[in-house]
Amino acid sequence: MQKLTNKEEEIMHILWKLKKAFVKEVMTEIIDEQPHYNTLSTIIRNLEEKGYVSHNAYGNTHQYFPIVALEEYRKEFMNTAIENYFDNSYKNLVSFFAEEDKISADELREILEIIEKRK
């Protein structure tokens, strides 16, 4: 799975949310600076070349839809992040969030309950 740029990731999140969309519909969902229509169209075509989206053609216009699921991308992204930034250690990942006050003791207890139920 090829790595996405930040802008490509933003567009993918929009397509995952909308399920299928024309370029104009994607454009209306962009919160920050909206790119030019042609620029957005190029980004979406690049996503198609990378194997993340496909399209249905309606004359000269295309309706795009994701062919990589959010869950599949999330799993790949997280595995890469854990490998590259946390020495492939989930303990280091959780410790990082605990040290940054991004996870509470109650949340950690909930995680432990999930782990215990799986045994």
pLDDT digits (tens, 9 = 90+) for 14-39: 999 999 999 999 999 998 888 999 99
pTM of the model: 0.81
- Mean pLDDT score across all residues of the chain: 94
Is pLDDT of 11 > 80?
A: yes
pLDDT mean over 74-101 = 92
DSSP string, the chain: -PPPPHHHHHHHHHHHHHSSEEHHHHHHH--SSPPPHHHHHHHHHHHHHTTSEEEEEETTEEEEEESS-HHHHHHHHHHHHHHHHSTT-HHHHHHHHHHTT-S-HHHHHHHHHHHHHH-
> Do 26 and 18 meet the contact criterion of CB atoms below 8 Å apart?
yes
Q: For residue range 58-77, what is the model confidence (pLDDT) as tens digits? A: 999 999 999 999 999 999 98
Give the pLDDT confidence score for residue 50 in this predicted structure: 96
61 Cβ contact partners less than 8 Å away, ≥ 6 residues apart: 22
Residue 119, pLDDT above cutoff 80: no
Q: In angstroms, rounded to a whole number, what is the distance separating the alpha carbons of residues 81 and 101?
A: 19
Quick one: pLDDT at residue 53? Answer: 98
Sheet holding 21-22, edge to edge: 21-22, 61-66, 53-58
